[in-house]
Amino acid sequence: MRLDELVKAEGDKIRRAAGEHGAKAVRFFGKLEWDSDKPDGSIFVLAEFVPECTLLDQASLSLSMKNIFGHNVEVFSQSALTEDVLGNLLESGVPLTHDDEYNLGGIQTAIEKAERYKSLGREIFEQNELVQTFVVHQLQIVHVLSNRISEDMKEEADEIDWENLVPLEEIPLYKGRELVDDVPSGRDKDLMLFNTMIFALELLEKHVGRPPEETQQDELVRAWLAHHLTVAGDACRSLSPQLRTATPDIPWDVLVEMACIIEVSGSDLDWQAIWNTVEHDVMPLLAAMKEIRAQLDAQGN
């Protein structure tokens, strides 16, 4: 079955999912080759979201599309894409995020941004939490993009240690994963994860009510929001199945998908959607997570 045939066959489900998650238009790209019942390749979904859409809406659409197609699906917000990325996707059917040259450019840009703030001096770096988070966010982008480089390019540039271009221990997000993974599953691990999520959401809370136009212009604040949303969402992935089942009102899978979207997007993020998330979703999530943490605390007494 070709992609256009598959899209046509699932048209009702696609339209319903798009409407439910704030996408007023979706377009599909990619090629499918079928081997028995297993498709090979990627489906790229270009979505035009309504202005009030949040990252949780985008993550929900991504999960819905994966459920519909039973396949590797990447959802791109049209508002997040540069003209180059959008033009390439419309022309070739493959986004520039899958291109070595594009990813190498992203790595270079992220390193240059980190070096620019590093040059301000150690004292400014240590005293300014926005600067610290910005540099960490750039390191995270370098790490993610280096994992996208093709094997052919890695062999050609074998003088570069691609796997350790940015050691994970330098990125608190990944270091936190290792620390959590060392704790046996159960109440203590869930409590540690909730403390991580709540701390990250409380840091986001600092910017609730800030004029959105200031955020759009301030790269430090943008990196702050993206990083702490990623930390909060990423922590959800290791929660125990028992706790997830007991707290169905919180969209755990959506929060994990939100973190994945931020990670793989690098600098190509829908900043309006991020801001909408901070404005509308952070406070209710924070309140719900504090209530669950209180219940976990009570279980230990």
The DSSP code sequence of 8-70 is: HHTHHHHHHHHHHTTEEEEEEE---EEETTEEES-EEEEEEE-TT--HHHHHHHHHHHHHHHT
Count Cβ atoms below 10 Å from residue 139 Cβ, excluding itself. 22
Identify whether the C-beta of residue 126 lies closer than 8 Å to the C-beta of residue 145: no
> The pTM is what?
0.87
Output the tens digit of pLDDT for each of the chain's 301 residues.
677 888 888 899 999 999 999 999 999 987 665 444 544 567 889 999 999 999 999 999 999 999 998 777 888 899 988 888 888 888 888 888 888 888 899 899 998 988 888 777 777 777 788 888 888 889 888 888 888 898 999 888 888 888 778 777 777 776 667 667 777 778 888 998 999 999 999 999 888 777 767 666 788 888 999 999 999 999 998 899 999 999 999 999 999 999 999 887 877 788 889 999 999 999 999 999 999 999 888 886 6
Q: Give the amino acid at 12.
A: D
- Give alpha helix (H) positions in the chain: 3-9, 11-20, 55-69, 83-92, 100-118, 122-127, 129-146, 151-156, 172-181, 187-205, 212-217, 219-235, 241-246, 252-265, 271-280, 282-299
Query: What pLDDT does 62 receive?
Result: 94
Beta strand pairing status for 33-35 and 38-40? antiparallel
Query: What pLDDT does 209 receive?
Result: 74
Query: What pLDDT does 114 receive?
Result: 86
Domain range 3-97, CATH architecture: 2-Layer Sandwich (3.30)
Query: What pLDDT does 32 receive?
Result: 60
User: Which of 79, 53, 68, 47 is CA-nearest to residue 3?
Assistant: 68
Query: What pLDDT does 255 receive?
Result: 96
Is 70 exposed, middle or buried (CB count within 10 Å of its CB: 0-12, 13-18, 19+)? Answer: exposed
Count Cβ atoms below 10 Å from residue 128 Cβ, excluding itself. 14
Q: Which CATH entry fits the domain spanning 171-299: 3.30.70, 1.20.120, 1.20.950, 1.10.287?
A: 1.20.120
